[in-house]
C-alpha cells in the first residue's frame, strides 16, 4: 500500500492511471530510471481530507515484470511518543520529481499539535508532499503535507517583505515552517475504516496488525508477568536490543532485555526552546501528476493543421551534429504529449522543440494551478541525467534566473479529456523543456523589482495565444528553442560552469485562409534576446507589435544550426 496525501489523491479516480516509481535514485552511473508499479484504487482506496492523507493499494507486479515483494517497505505504528519538541526530524524526499534526497540538518521539531499535526523546521523542496518524516531512531512519525508562510495580517509575505500575490513565483515566499500529519493519528483513522472490497479489507487488517504501539505490548507483558524459567530442554535466547536517543549533544544508550518502563529526558522544554510559528495559512503542496508510461506518448504531429498541410520537424546542421544526444548513432527525438524535442548534450538543453497547439475552448475543459497542482520539474528518465540541466546547476542558486519553458505550459494544456489536458500541462515541466531565462525576459509581468516592464518572451507568448483565441482557426504548430552560441556567457553556480543562452527563436506555422476559401501555410520566424535585461539586472496570426523581432527563417537557421524543411522556408512571410 502507498500512503500519501489527500490533496494528491482526493478521490480514487485521481489514482487511476498513476504509478509509484521506486529506486529512482542518483548513483555512480547516473540517474536510475527505477521501477514503476501501477496503483490499484479498485482494490483499496481511502482518503481523509481532515488529516490530509490517502492510502491506496499497489499492484504486486511492475509494468516491467518486477515483483513488489522484492522491495523493502516502511512500517508504521500507533505510538504517539516517538519524538519530542526540540529533537530532530529527518525527511526522505523526491523534490520536484528529482532523485531521492535526505534532509537531515537544521531539522528541529517545533511543535506537536493535538489536532493531528507536527510542525518542524526541516527544509523540504516543493513537490515533497507525502515524504516520510523520521525520528532520530528512524521511526516514521510524520507524513509531510504543507508549508507555512510568514504572514502580515492575512497577506502572505515574500522574502523581501513584499506581499505575495497568486500567480507570483512560489520560490519568493518566506516560508517559516513545515507541517506533517502525525502517523499515530493516521493509524487511529485507519483503524476505523471498513472496506467493502474483501481484498482491501485483508490489506487493511494486515497493515493494522503491525501498527500496535510498542508501549501497549510492554504493558501486556507486564500484566502477564515474566516466566520464571524456560521449559526444560528448550533453547531460548533473549538478545538485547540497542536504541540510541540524541538530543543536542547528549547521547543515551539503553539495552532492553525484558519488560521495562522508560522515562527519557529531563524537564519539558521551555518556551525558549521552541520557536512558535506565527498564525499560518497552510499551503498544501499538490504536485503536478505525470503520466508514468513514457512509451505511449505520441509527440508532435506534422499533419496537425490539416488541409493537406504538413509542418515537418526541423533537423540539425552538420556543424552541430556532434553536440546532439544520440542513441545508436542517431539523434534521439523525445516524444511528449503534443510535442517533441531533441537535446544538445554538450549544452544540456534542447536544440529544438515542436509543439501542436489548439486553443479551442472545448479542448480546454480544465485549467489553472488549483487543478494541475504547483510547479514541479522532473528529469526525463529516458535519457541520462548528465545531459539535462537541472535545478541545482543553475535555476536554484541563480536568484534572477527563471525556469523558462520553451514549450509553454498554456500552449500544451489541451486535449480531448481532462486527463490528456492534465498530462499535457505536466509534460512541459521536464528539465528537457527548460532553459535559463532572466525573470524580466521570461515573465509577461515581471514585477516592480524589474521596473514593472513587460517581459519580452512572456509577452510574446501571450501575443501568440491571443491571436489563436481570436482568429478563425485555433490551431498552430510552433517550433522553438534557444540560440546556443559559442560566445554565450558562462557562470559557475557550484556544480561547474554553465553557459546560458542570450537569444531565443520561435517559428509559428498557421494555416491561413486565402482568397479562394482554402488554407495556405504561413510561417513567421522570430528572434528575441534577453541580453539587455541580463546586462541590466544581472542574470489569423499577425506579428503586430512584435514585427520588429521578426526575421527570415534562414536567419534563425544560420544562427542556431537548426535546419527547417523547404516547405516552411517557402511559406516564410519574411523571406522576401
The C-alpha atoms of residue 528 and residue 169 are separated, in whole angstroms, by 23
pLDDT surpassing 60 at residue 30: yes
Instruction: Enter the CATH code of domain 2-209+275-284.
Output: 2.40.10.10
Q: Quick one: pLDDT band at residue 364, thresholds 50, 70, 90?
A: confident
Mean pLDDT of 546-570: 87
Is residue 145 flagged as an active site residue? no
Buried b (16+ CB within 10 A) or exposed e, 85-123: bbbbbbbbbbbbbbbebebeeebbbbebeeebbbbbbbe
CA–CA separation, 76 and 140 (whole Å): 6
What is the distance between the alpha carbons of residues 389 and 488, in angstroms, rounded to a whole number? 16
Lowest mean pLDDT among 46-55, 186-195, 245-254: 245-254
Q: What is the mean pLDDT of residues 536-558?
A: 66
Contact between 243 and 264 (Cβ < 8 Å): no
How big is the CA angle at 501 (ends 496 and 504), to the nearest 5 degrees? 155
Question: Which of 321-330, 421-430, 507-516 is predicted least confidently?
Answer: 507-516
Lowest mean pLDDT among 28-32, 80-84, 509-513: 28-32
Percent of the chain with pLDDT strictly greater than 70: 73
At residue 463, the pLDDT reads: 57
Alpha-carbon gap, residue 455 to 440, rounded angstroms: 5
Q: What are the residue ranges spanned by the domains of the chain?
A: 2-209+275-284, 315-373+392-428+437-570
Q: Which residues are annotated as a binding site for Mg(2+)?
A: 442
Q: How confident is the model at residue 307 (pLDDT cuts 50, 70, 90)?
A: confident
pLDDT confidence of residue 349: 93
CATH class, 315-373+392-428+437-570 region: alpha beta
Q: Is the pTM of this model over 0.85?
A: no
- Using pLDDT thresholds of 50, 70 and 90, give the confidence band for residue 430: very high
Burial class (CB in 10 A: 0-12, 13-18, 19+), 247: middle
- Grid cell of 189 as nine digits: 483513522
Q: Is the pLDDT of residue 285 over 90?
A: no
Q: What is the pLDDT of residue 470?
A: 53
Name residue, grid cell 513537490: 127
Residues 567 and 149: their CA atoms lie apart, in Å, by 53
Residues in the chain: 576
pLDDT at 263: 35
The DSSP call for residue 312 is: P
DSSP bridge pairs for 343: 350
Q: Which tens digits make up the pLDDT trace of 95-129?
A: 766 778 887 778 888 888 888 998 888 777 666 78
Say if residues 101 and 396 touch (Cβ distance below 8 Å): no
In the predicted structure, residue 455 carries a pLDDT above the cut 70: no
Q: What is the mean pLDDT of residues 515-537?
A: 69
Cα gap 176→152, rounded to integer Å: 13
In this predicted structure, the answer to whether residue 338 has a pLDDT above a threshold of 70 is yes
Judge whether residue 253 has pLDDT over 70: no
Question: Is residue 415 scored above 50 in pLDDT?
Answer: yes
How much is the mean pLDDT over the chain? 77
7, 145, 338, 405: the active-site residue: 405
Give per-residue pLDDT as tens, 467-489: 655 556 788 899 999 999 998 88
Amino acid at each position: 500500500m502507498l500512503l500519501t496525501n489527500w490533496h494528491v489523491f482526493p478521490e480514487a479516480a485521481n489514482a487511476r492511471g498513476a504509478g509509484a516509481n521506486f529506486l529512482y535514485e542518483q548513483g555512480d552511473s547516473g540517474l536510475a530510471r527505477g521501477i514503476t508499479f501501477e496503483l490499484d484504487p479498485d482494490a483499496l482506496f481511502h482518503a481523509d481530507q481532515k488529516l490530509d492523507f490517502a492510502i491506496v493499494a499497489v499492484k504486486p507486479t511492475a509494468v516491467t515484470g518486477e515483483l513488489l515483494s522484492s522491495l523493502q517497505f516502511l512500517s508504521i505504528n500507533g505510538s504517539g511518543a516517538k519524538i519530542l519538541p526540540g529533537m530532530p526530524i529527518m525527511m526522505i524526499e523526491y523534490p520536484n520529481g528529482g532523485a531521492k534526497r535526505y534532509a537531515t540538518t537544521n531539522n528541529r521539531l517545533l511543535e506537536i499539535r493535538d489536532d493531528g499535526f507536527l510542525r518542524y523546521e526541516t527544509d523540504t523542496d516543493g513537490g515533497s508532499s507525502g515524504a516520510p518524516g523520521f525520528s532520530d531512531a528512524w521511526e516514521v512519525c510524520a507524513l509531510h503535507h504543507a508549508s507555512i508562510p510568514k504572514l502580515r495580517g492575512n497577506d502572505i509575505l515574500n522574502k523581501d517583505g513584499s506581499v505575495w500575490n497568486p500567480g507570483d513565483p512560489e520560490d519568493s515566499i518566506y516560508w517559516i515552517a513545515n507541517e506533517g500529519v502525525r502517523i499515530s493519528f493516521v493509524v487511529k483513522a485507519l483503524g476505523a475504516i471498513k472496506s467493502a472490497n474483501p481484498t482491501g479489507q485483508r490489506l487493511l487488517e494486515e497493515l493494522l496488525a503491525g501498527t500496535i504501539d510498542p508501549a501497549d505490548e510492554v504493558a501486556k507483558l507486564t500484566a502477564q508477568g515474566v516466566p520464571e524459567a524456560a521449559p526444560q530442554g528448550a533453547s531460548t535466547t533473549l538478545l538485547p536490543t540497542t536504541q540510541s536517543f540524541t538530543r543536542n549533544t547528549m547521547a543515551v544508550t539503553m539495552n532492553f532485555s525484558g519488560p521495562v518502563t522508560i522515562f527519557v529526558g529531563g524537564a519539558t522544554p521551555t518556551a525558549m526552546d521552541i520557536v512558535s510559528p506565527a498564525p499560518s495559512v497552510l499551503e498544501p503542496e499538490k504536485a503536478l501528476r505525470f503520466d508514468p508510461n513514457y512509451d505511449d506518448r505520441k509527440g508532435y504531429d506534422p499533419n496537425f493543421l490539416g488541409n493537406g498541410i504538413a509542418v515537418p520537424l526541423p533537423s540539425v546542421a552538420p556543424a552541430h551534429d556532434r553536440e546532439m544526444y544520440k542513441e545508436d548513432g542517431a539523434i534521439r527525438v523525445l516524444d511528449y504529449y503534443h510535442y517533441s524535442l531533441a537535446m544538445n548534450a554538450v549544452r544540456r538543453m534542447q536544440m529544438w522543440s515542436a509543439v501542436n497547439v489548439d486553443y479551442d475552448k472545448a479542448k480546454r475543459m480544465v485549467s489553472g494551478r488549483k487543478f494541475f497542482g504547483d510547479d514541479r520539474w522532473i528529469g526525463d528518465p529516458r535519457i541520462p541525467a548528465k545531459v539535462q540541466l537541472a535545478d541545482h546547476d543553475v535555476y536554484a542558486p541563480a536568484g534572477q534566473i527563471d525556469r523558462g519553458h520553451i514549450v509553454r505550459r498554456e500552449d500544451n494544456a489541451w486535449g480531448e479529456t481532462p486527463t490528456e489536458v492534465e498530462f499535457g500541462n505536466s509534460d512541459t515541466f521536464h528539465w528537457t523543456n527548460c532553459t535559463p531565462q532572466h525573470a524580466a525576459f521570461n515573465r509577461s509581468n515581471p514585477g516592480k523589482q524589474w521596473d514593472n516592464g513587460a517581459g519580452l518572451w512572456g509577452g510574446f507568448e501571450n501575443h501568440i495565444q491571443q491571436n489563436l483565441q481570436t482568429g478563425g482557426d485555433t490551431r498552430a504548430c510552433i517550433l522553438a528553442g534557444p540560440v546556443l552560441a559559442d560566445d554565450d556567457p558562462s557562470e559557475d553556480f557550484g556544480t561547474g560552469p554553465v553557459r546560458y543562452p542570450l537569444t531565443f527563436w520561435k517559428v509559428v506555422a498557421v494555416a491561413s485562409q486565402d482568397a479562394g476559401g482554402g488554407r495556405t501555410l504561413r510561417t513567421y520566424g522570430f528572434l528575441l534576446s534577453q541580453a539587455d535585461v541580463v546586462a541590466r539586472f544581472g542574470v489569423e496570426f499577425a506579428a503586430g507589435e512584435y514585427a520588429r523581432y521578426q526575421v527570415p527563417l534562414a536567419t534563425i537557421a544560420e544562427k542556431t544550426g537548426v535546419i527547417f524543411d523547404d516547405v516552411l522556408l517557402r511559406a516564410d512571410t519574411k523571406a522576401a
